[in-house]
Structure 1
Amino acid sequence: MKKNTDACTSIMVGKKASLDGATFIARNEDRVKAITPKRFVVKPAVKGRHETYISPYNKVTVPMPEDGMRYTSTPHLDQSTGPNEEDGINEANVAASFTESVYANDRVLAYDPYVKNGLAEDSLCTLILPFIHSAREGVEYTGKLVAKYGSAEGNGIQFSDEDSIWYMEIVTGHQWVAVRIPDDCYAVTPNQMAIEDIDFNDPDNYMWADGIREFVEKHQLNPDENRWDFRHIFGTKTKKDHHYNTPRTWFAQRYLSPKAAKDQMPEDDEMPFIRKAEFKISFEDIQYILKSHFNETPYDPMSDSPQNKTYRAISLSRTAQSHILQVRNSKKYKSSIHWIELGVPAFNPYVPFFANSNDTDESYREVPKKMDLKSAYWLNQALAEVVESHYDEFMEQDTDYQNELNEWARRKIAEVDEKAEKLDGQELIDYLTEQNHEIASHYNKRTLELFYDLLTQGCELSKMSFKMDPNL
């Protein structure tokens, strides 16, 4: 099986580390091509189904449970390589993000290679999210699938509910571990094995594949004398890691933990996976990291620095979509929010959609193959292209537009909360669905206004302009 060539950046924030008490899991879904059209949909609940799932990508074949819950997801428009639903929140208020591509070393793969027709990124959301009722169950359910079908590639998966976040790394054909992110901490992972020491005496906070310790011992894979560090045993420390992966952790940690991380360097191998922030982390802070391109450092690709292409940035032109899944701890109604960003994260806003709904707006649900400004995906791609083409002239206006929409979103969510707390059942679902349509309409209108405004301004910025000397 070929190694996964896609790449992402993931962020997790525990409920006591966040400003509003929500749990957050988030990820940039980066792809090989700059254009990978994505849809945002609600998959309906099913009852009494008798179907077998067969992946168009690698033919993994899995009988589907008869019953499955409703859930949001962001599938590829092109289904020829599988659904690639990637992320979502189900009606049990459980969120998941599939997947962060991770890579194992040759030593461990020699004894447990990937399974050609095993589980891969294209199928994971479809096969797991409709059937789990907690973050921990997400790990357990996935572990059973891996034991039965094997894994076709290395993948990191985030699960969250109102109380907890679990991060799971599947690294070989059958070996995996998972850790509960402490409530007062955050974690960042950039396509590199991240989980460190495993405490096998603490099953409340760690989970692992059956027989993993025996596997490591049998094949003499642990390089350490007195610890069982998953990253050391299964991970890599390559030139690619130092230029492609570790700098992203460095940038995120220097922002969230500036004092603790002040001596870290972009190519450090031993940056901790789990850290405490030096302030309460807001939704806007998570946005900032996912949108960043090493801003205000010599490594910013948008700068004139001779070091501007040294490291792979977090926000890329080939980000298919970015999401922030906010599971809010509301006792009155299911109020989780699936934030979606389409286009290049640096240039486009995150749009809040209430997950407890039964439909999405047509501009997100229907995506044509070619550019059409009625489609949210294509509209945001077009805006990003215009802003980047005249970055110095347009970035300030684009930043003001994003900040304006963040303010509007906070006000809108507060207004919806006030009314939604008095509703329940189908009436609540219908109300939240209606509000999602209003939110989409507002963002699309504002984005189109800015797009046309910048296009008009751009007519005056052509290199073909010529100003006549009045003395001639």
Structure 2
Amino acid sequence: MCINIAIGREAAAENRILVSRNEDCGRNHWSRYVAYRSEPEYASGRVVRDGMWTLGNGLRVAVPKTRFAYSAMPSAAAPGETPRHLHEGRGINENNVAVSTTGTLQINALANAIDPLLAEGGIDGSIIPTLILPQALTARHGVELLGTYLQKHGAGEARGVIVADPFEAWYLENGSAHHWIAVRIPADSYLVVANGLRIHGIDLYGPDVLHSAGLFEFVAEYRLLERPDRRRFDFAQAFGVPETSHGLDRIWLAQKYLTPSLQQGPRQPQYPLFLKPDGELCVTDVMAVLRAACQWMELEGRPPRPGAPRRTAESHIICLNAKMPTELQGLIWQAIGTPLGAPYLPLYHALQEIPHELGMNAPPQEGNSAYRAFGELFSLAGSAGPGALAALQAVWQEQERELVFQQRHLESMLLSMYHQSPQNAVAFAQHYSTGSILQLVEKAHRERHRLLNGRPDGTDDA
């Protein structure tokens, strides 16, 4: 049960695009690691034959002409598995185009019967960043590429995808194998998605809307809507199913936090697609929502449902800042595992030499991997009682406040450095990311030692 939040430039502090996601899993998972792809997968002859590129899920497409470098966060292979099926999740390419795949979406039986999802070899979330990031010039171009692939090859699952660059963000979702729609998120607004189709009330003639060819005619012919309206088109109702209570709770909670002036009841059938926040939003606001638990008065008496359960594989907040030089426009605040027990690490997209603690060669369950350091500490704090877990979360949030404060001043320094030496400025940003990772992994080890040798609330013995 994932949640995504995307924020337009004018809605965010200091005019930067924010794209975030909690990647939640319904079962235990293997960790993710950080990677930098100086060349895309199809640069290797191992996966190319007769001009066709075979991706990890079996999809075959013509080899693209472009080869943009990109950063990503693939899944680590479980024992006995091959890392071939990359499932990269999120990433940014050298043009500062970011892709964040949302959770799988549910579609209705009628839509799926008419244009059924492919059993194998179609477009699915596991290959979308791998497919789009090496090619996209801009966010809109990335959406157009993905839409073209969907119409030509078909989808293996219903999926939402956020594609952004430093100037705009788009949200695309498909409701069948070949039909899709994408909307540009207004600059002064934000979007929240939680495992259900969300696009509704859209003008299909609008300049900020893209969609599959023949979408309206398909909906009208097969009566997916009783009275389809091109000017207020409801893609979610045509192709989707009613939101789960868990998904509705997450949307309501996020909108309540980001726009508290708007009075909305919990578990309404449909919430606004775009909303303006009550004030400029910053990265710490997004961190708070991604960690939030549903404990509002209207939901009292129901079990708490955290925005980030224990089985969260990773959580990220991608910041795209057009005011920075090209190489420094992308910054990813990355939590390894659940943000309930791990801090958000500031990783510049320019980070090409990945520290061992975040790399593929750090086994998730062994050695000094960040995944193990944060995961073991979280489990230990949870078993030691609510006082220990609350103390741990306070430690990480204090660390994050320091890093966010430092980041504002660091950007000014990087700009000054870049005017004198772009190479040195980029190198400094890489060193900063590496140093932050090592500092917080070491902090996790110290906190673990303190819990093992101190009192249950995490404090040391006098």
Considering the TM-score relative to the shorter chain, is it more than 0.5? Answer: yes
In structure 2, the residue matched to 1:315 is 308
| Runs of at least 4 residues off by over 6 Å | none
Is residue 118 from structure 1 mapped to residue 112 from structure 2 by the alignment?
A: no
Q: Is the 8 A contact 1:48 1:67 kept in 2?
A: no
Q: Measured at CA, do residues 256 and 224 of structure 1 come closer, stay the same or move farther in structure 2, by a change above 3 Å?
A: farther
Cα distance in structure 1, aligned partners of 2:324 and 2:33: 31
Shift, 1:135, TM fit = 0.9
In structure 1, the residue matched to 2:15 is 21
1:367-419 Cα deviation digits (max 9, x unpaired): 54452351001111112112222342113322321222112212442454244
Shift, 1:225, TM fit = 5.8
Q: Is the 8 A contact 2:252 2:264 kept in 1?
A: no
In structure 2, the residue matched to 1:99 is 102
Shift, 1:446, TM fit = 1.5
Q: Measured at CA, do residues 277 and 224 of structure 1 come closer, stay the same or move farther in structure 2, by a change above 3 Å?
A: farther
Give the stretch that moved more between structures: 188-197 or 30-39.
30-39
Q: Which amino acid aligns with 1:45?
A: E
In structure 2, the residue matched to 1:279 is 279
Q: Among 220, 238, 242, which residue is 1:233 paired with?
A: 238
In structure 1, the residue matched to 2:320 is 327
DSSP 3-state at the match of 2:346: strand
Give the stretch that moved more between structures: 88-97 or 424-433.
424-433
Q: Which amino acid aligns with 1:234?
A: F
Give the stretch that moved more between structures: 376-385 or 328-337.
328-337
Shift, 1:64, TM fit = 2.9
Q: Measured at CA, do residues 371 and 284 of structure 1 come closer, stay the same or move farther in structure 2, by a change above 3 Å?
A: same
In structure 2, the residue matched to 1:87 is 90
Cα distance in structure 1, aligned partners of 2:44 and 2:363: 31
Is residue 144 from structure 1 mapped to residue 139 from structure 2 by the alignment?
A: no
Is residue 210 from structure 1 mapped to residue 213 from structure 2 by the alignment?
A: yes
In structure 2, the residue matched to 1:352 is 346
In structure 2, the residue matched to 1:302 is none
Cα distance in structure 2, aligned partners of 1:81 and 1:45: 16
Q: Is the 8 A contact 2:31 2:337 kept in 1?
A: no
Give the stretch that moved more between structures: 106-115 or 366-375.
366-375
Matches within 5 A, 1:64-463: 64-78=63-77, 79=82, 82-116=85-119, 117-202=121-206, 204-224=207-227, 226=229, 227-237=232-242, 241-260=243-262, 262-265=263-266, 267-295=267-295, 306-308=301-303, 312-333=305-326, 334-366=328-360, 368-369=362-363, 371-372=365-366, 374-421=368-415, 422-423=417-418, 425-457=422-454
Cα distance in structure 1, aligned partners of 2:357 and 2:84: 23
Cα distance in structure 2, aligned partners of 1:324 and 1:258: 22
1:226-283 Cα deviation digits (max 9, x unpaired): 542111211111xxx33231111011111111221x2321x21121121111121111
Cα distance in structure 2, aligned partners of 1:392 and 1:298: 24
Cα distance in structure 2, aligned partners of 1:109 and 1:442: 49
Q: Measured at CA, do residues 336 and 225 of structure 1 come closer, stay the same or move farther in structure 2, by a change above 3 Å?
A: closer
Q: Is the 8 A contact 1:109 1:172 kept in 2?
A: yes
Q: Which amino acid aligns with 2:64?
A: P
Cα distance in structure 1, aligned partners of 2:278 and 2:409: 31
Q: Is the 8 A contact 2:356 2:362 kept in 1?
A: no
In structure 2, the residue matched to 1:466 is none
DSSP 3-state at the match of 1:26: strand
DSSP 3-state at the match of 2:27: coil
- Aligned positions, number: 441
Q: Is the 8 A contact 2:101 2:161 kept in 1?
A: yes
Shift, 1:337, TM fit = 0.4
Unaligned 5+ segments in structure 1 are: 1-6, 300-304, 462-472
1:171-203 Cα deviation digits (max 9, x unpaired): 21001000111011011010000111221221x
1:430-465 Cα deviation digits (max 9, x unpaired): 33222221111111112221122122235799xxxx
User: TM-score, normalising length from structure 1?
Assistant: 0.88
Q: Measured at CA, do residues 230 and 298 of structure 1 come closer, stay the same or move farther in structure 2, by a change above 3 Å?
A: closer
User: TM-score, normalising length from structure 2?
Assistant: 0.89
Q: Measured at CA, do residues 366 and 263 of structure 1 come closer, stay the same or move farther in structure 2, by a change above 3 Å?
A: closer
In structure 2, the residue matched to 1:44 is 38
Shift, 1:218, TM fit = 1.4
Q: Is the 8 A contact 2:68 2:94 kept in 1?
A: yes
Percent identity, aligned pairs only, is: 23
CA RMSD for the aligned pairs? 2.3
Q: Is the 8 A contact 2:8 2:186 kept in 1?
A: yes
Cα distance in structure 2, aligned partners of 1:370 and 1:332: 34
Q: Is the 8 A contact 2:391 2:457 kept in 1?
A: no
Q: Is the 8 A contact 2:251 2:271 kept in 1?
A: yes
Cα distance in structure 2, aligned partners of 1:391 and 1:62: 52
Q: Measured at CA, do residues 381 and 182 of structure 1 come closer, stay the same or move farther in structure 2, by a change above 3 Å?
A: same
Shift, 1:18, TM fit = 0.8
In structure 2, the residue matched to 1:465 is none
Q: Measured at CA, do residues 80 and 162 of structure 1 come closer, stay the same or move farther in structure 2, by a change above 3 Å?
A: closer
Shift, 1:121, TM fit = 1.4
